[in-house]
Amino acid sequence: MRPTTDDPLELERAHLRESRAALRAMRKDFENLDLTDIAASWVSAEVVRGEVRDRIKTLADLAELPLFFGRVDYLHPPGGAPAGEDDGPERYYIGRRHVHDAGGEPMVLDWRAPVSQPFYRASRTEPLDVALRRRFGYERGELTAYEDEHLTDPAEAATASRLLAAEIEKPRVGPMRDIVATIQPEQDVIVRMDIGDTLCVQGAPGTGKTAVGLHRVAYLLYSHRERLKRTGTLVVGPNDSFLHYIEQVLPSLGELDVAQATVGELVGKQTGLAVRGTDTARAAGLKGDARMAEVLRGAVRSHVGRVEESLVLVRGSRRWRVPQHELQELVDQLLEREMRYGAARDALPQRIAHAVLTRMELAGEAPDDRVQNAVARSAPVKAVVKAVWPAVDPAKLVLRLLSDAEFLAAAADGLLTEDEQAAVRWAKPARGVKTAPWTAADLVLVDEALDLVERTGSLGHVVLDEAQDLSPMQYRAVGRRCSTGSATVLGDIAQGTTPWATGSWEEALLHLGKKGAAVEELTAGFRVPKEIIDYASRLLPHIAEGLAPASSVREALGSLTRREDGDVAAAVRGALRHEGSVGVIVADARMAQVRSALEAAGVAFLDDPGAETTQERRVTLLPASLAKGLEYDHVVVDEPSLIVEGEPDRRTGLRRLYVVLTRAVSGLTVVHSVPLPEELAA
Ligand SMILES: Nc1ncnc2c1ncn2[C@@H]1O[C@H](COP(=O)(O)OP(=O)(O)OP(=O)(O)O)[C@@H](O)[C@H]1O
């Protein structure tokens, strides 16, 4: 029912009501679909049913999420479409989902549609034919405000958007939210980049890298749904707490089919092996070094032997002979072609059979494909293949490399020094694959070996977050999974806290197999208030030379507090006076002590950064090593010096502290009794 009013807010509310009703009708249509006769086979019927179920789920009218958050009025109908009646086709509402009325007319456009793009990109200097951009403000699902920009009106002064500021300032509890209503132009460029382009984004803390990566996946799924449905998409993150924190974003954008995993989970699944041991930092560093790829390649290829004898094959009354040197040539050709070991092993019998068939033809016979296959499968040919190109079990191969000094020395000759070889080997040789003391870095080696034998399947697109922490071998593991697809690589060199953290994105991209991909930089910080980012940025010259400090879109004066009494519980009580979540970040070695202090003070807190904060339980206690990628409204950092000392070297320690200091959205309290690291002094 249309309201009899000219009040723009009422009119917009009416459109919202009508859009909600239309969405409910769309959902009903899907629920009422008669699926009994839809498909001939049981399998395809199940597929269709699954799709309909997903569709119903994505159409769920989430009461808390605004159905549309913006509107654009174009000066001309986009794409030269004919002008319509009534309010004309040049007015578009932009929202999370496409909604149409019973007649198929769009009520809300998906934010990813091309026609929505100017909502994000138009400016006064480049209005992109937008006469009016309207942003909507909501409170608990109710449309309560709007804000207009007439981009082509020279008389109108540019003002900062209050709604945008309010959105960014909103207190946070619970998992990460989508930013679909407020994606910034420089972020939008990354989100909408072509699917064929691999892109690397360097960005200071809180510049929206994670948010942009997730929205990019949603955009690609919209623009290339069929293709990506076949090939798949994957988001790789640093740990389970992080993955848990971001896991709601894609479903809130209507995308349910994106896999999320850590590198450890990827290689664990592929190899079927579990981590049972740990490495020293040196051993892990060496095992993650790109030279190990060469060692493994050599070890796999070392199984190819010389042909010792000619082949003699008896068929019926005739004997066919392929001389030793010709067989050797076939083997050499396969070696030269750099095929996967397993594929070459599969090809060899056919090549030998071909040599036999050529002889048959020369002798006047007319053998067909069946004969060729029979020859390829014959015992003498099989015997040659077994002797010259034996099957290789990748896990056993790595086990042998890490257990058998001679075998490793042969494969690592000219690549690793003796000392390095000793560091790489396990202390005690392992007996079996199931009981070996596999470390996280070892499983990456097995994953590489698997790929040397048989090509790893590639996905359509992979988003790699917190990428700075990966070793070259881990980059290779991720790269294998997007070898025929593309990738979005997100990270911050200054936040690299592994001993093997990457020194440059060019190098990282090389290991990923995406040499020469573009590197973009995001510098506008949306999370951390200026005062806090300026404080944390004092560390930058000591941890990443040449990186520009982030700016901040948020002033929030008075957001930084220092307490020298070391009283964490008092600091937490102070933080609880503010709205939103509180993260208490402490050196890993201090966890037990701070836990007791909080318990003694009667502070209720969550002990797991993967657990979701709620209004009742707003405090999370977490070790510094798990803080990466997370954020809290208020952060209490306990004893910065001990956080620095918890790492193997000073630079890594200061980087860890930089990560920890940049988790705060509204306020940061630094509490200590030990003197602060001198690098933090102004
Ligand atoms: N355009 C935006 N509008 C509103 N909020 C935004 C925008 N961009 C980013 N944010 C918010 O800023 C915060 C930081 O974003 P995000 O976690 O993606 O940053 P990051 O660059 O990955 O940070 P870090 O390097 O510390 O992991 C999040 O709460 C995110 O929702």
Q: Which of 364, 388, 412 is the last residue of a domain?
A: 388
Name 511's Cβ contacts closer than 8 Å, sequence gap at least 6: 290, 472, 473, 475, 476, 479
Kindly indicate the confidence band of residue 37, based on its pLDDT and cuts at 50, 70 and 90: low
Within a domain: 537: no
Length of the chain: 682
pLDDT of residue 546: 80
Which pair of tokens denotes residue 619? Answer: 């405090």
Q: Which residues pair with 563 in a beta bridge?
A: 671
Residues 29, 155, single domain; the answer is: yes
Is the CB of residue 168 below 6 angstroms from any atom belonging to ligand 1?
yes
Report residue 79's pLDDT band, with 50, 70 and 90 as the boundaries: low
pTM: 0.89
CB atoms within 10 A of CB 524: 16
Q: What letter represents residue 460's amino acid? A: G
Residues forming beta bridges with residue 462, ordered by sequence position: 234, 487
Confidence of residue 45 (pLDDT cuts 50, 70, 90): low
Q: φ, ψ for residue 492 (rounded to 5)?
A: -145, 115
Residue-level pLDDT at 166: 79
Confidence (pLDDT) at 250: 86
Classify residue 61: in a domain, yes or no. Answer: yes
- The finding on whether 289 has its CB within 6 A of some atom of ligand 1 is no
Is residue 100, in this structure, part of any structural domain at all? yes
CA–centroid distance, 414 to ligand 1, in Å, is: 46
261 and 325 in a single domain? The answer is no
Contact 14, 3 (CB under 8 A): yes
Q: Are 271 and 447 in contact (CB under 8 A)?
A: yes
Q: Is the CB of 209 under 6 A from ligand 1?
A: yes
Same-domain pairing of 582 and 675: yes
- 149 and 284 together in one domain: no
b/e sequence 424-462, b meaning 16+ C-beta within 10 Å: bbbeeebeebeebebbbbbbbbbbbbbbbbeebeebbbb
CA 90 from centre of chain: 37
Tell me whether residue 117 is in a domain. yes
Give the pLDDT of residue 284.
95
Under the banding of pLDDT at 50, 70 and 90, the label for residue 183 is: very high
Q: Distance between CA 76 and CA 81 in Å, rounded?
A: 9
Q: Is 425 found in the same domain as 382?
A: no
Ligand 1 centre and the CA of 184: distance in Å?
11
Based on the number of CB atoms within 10 Å of its own CB, is 322 exposed (0-12), middle (13-18) or buried (19 or more)? Answer: buried
- Give the pLDDT of residue 501: 92
Residue range 415-444: mean pLDDT, rounded = 95
In sequence order, what E strands does 44-172 have? 68-74, 91-95, 99-100, 106-110, 130-139, 142-149
Does the CB atom of residue 580 touch ligand 1 within 6 A?
Answer: no
168 assigned to some structural domain: no
The CA-CA-CA angle for residues 70, 249, 228, to 5°, reads 95
Tell whether the model's pLDDT for residue 430 goes beyond 80.
yes
Q: How far, in Å, CA of 196 to CA of 220, rounded?
A: 10
3-class secondary-structure state, position 330:
helix
Where does a domain end: 102, 126, 159? 159
**Would you say residue 89 has pLDDT above 90?**
no
Count up the domains in the chain and report the number: 4
Task: Determine if ligand 1 sits within 6 Å of the CB of residue 496.
Answer: no
Which of 307, 383, 376, 380 is closest to 346 using CA atoms?
376
Ligand 1 centroid to 586 CA: how many Å?
23
In this structure, the answer to whether residues 360 and 439 fall within a common structural domain is no
- Give me the helix-helix angle, 324-336 and 341-362, nearest 10°: 140
* Kind of pairing between the strands at 142-149 and 130-139: antiparallel
* Res 454 pLDDT > 60: yes
For residue 524, the cross-strand partners are: 551
Name the 3-class secondary structure at 147: strand
450 shares its domain with 366: no
Identify whether residues 379 and 422 lie together within a single domain.
Answer: no
Angle at 526 between CA 524 and CA 529, to 5 degrees: 100
Q: How many other CB atoms sit within 10 Å of the CB of residue 114?
A: 11
The tokens describing 95, both together, are 């929202």
> Is 132 domain-assigned?
yes
Would residue 178 count as lying in a domain? no
Cα(224) to centroid(ligand 1), Å: 25
Report the mean per-residue pLDDT for the chain.
89
**Residues 405, 281 share a domain:** yes
Give the alpha-carbon dihedral of 435, 438, 442, 447, to 10 degrees: 50
Q: Are residues 278 and 424 in the same domain?
A: yes
Q: What is the DSSP string of 421-490?
A: HHHHS-SS----TTTS---HHHHHHHHHHHHHHSPPPPPSEEEE-SGGG--HHHHHHHHHTTSSSEEEEE
Calpha distance 200→491 (Å, rounded) = 8
Cβ–Cβ under 8 Å, residues 395 and 273: yes
Same domain, 291 and 308: no
**Would you state the pLDDT for residue 159?**
74
The span from the CA of 99 to the CA of 21, in Å, is: 10
Classify 550 as helix, strand or coil.
coil
Q: Is 392 helix (H, G, I), strand (E, B) or coil?
A: coil
Regarding whether 261 and 334 lie in a shared domain, the answer is: no
Report the CATH number at residue 599.
Answer: 3.40.50.300
Whether 520 is covered by a domain: the verdict is: yes
Average pLDDT (95-124) is 91
Pairing of strands 68-74, 311-315: unpaired
Closest atom of ligand 1 to 181 CA is 3
Last residue of a domain, one of 388, 421, 449: 388
**Would you say 325 and 306 are in contact if contact means Cβ atoms under 8 Å apart?**
no
Q: pLDDT tens digits, residue range 341-399?
A: 999 999 999 999 999 999 999 999 888 999 999 999 999 999 999 999 999 999 999 99
The model's confidence at residue 34, banded by pLDDT at 50, 70 and 90, is: low
Helix (H, G, I), strand (E, B) or coil at 344: helix
Distance from the CA of 593 to the center of ligand 1, in angstroms?
A: 32
Q: Which atom of ligand 1 is nearest to the CA of 629?
A: 27
pLDDT tens readout for residues 241-255: 888 888 888 888 878
Ligand 1, atom 4, residue with closest C-alpha: 168
Helix (H, G, I), strand (E, B) or coil at 234: strand
Query: From the CA of 206, how far away is ligand 1's center (Å)?
Result: 5
How many C-beta atoms lie closer than 10 Å to residue 193's C-beta?
18
Is 204 annotated as a binding-site member?
yes
Structural domain including 275 reads: 202-299+396-524
Asked whether residue 79 is marked as a ligand-binding residue, the answer is no
Quick one: tokens of 108?
């809300």
What φ, ψ does residue 546 adopt, rounded to 5°?
Answer: 85, -5
What is the CATH classification number for the domain harbouring 211?
Answer: 3.40.50
Rounded to 5 degrees, what angle do the CA atoms 12, 16, 22 make? 140
Q: Any idea what DSSP says for residue 19?
A: H
Decide: 211 in ligand 1 pocket, CB within 6 A: yes
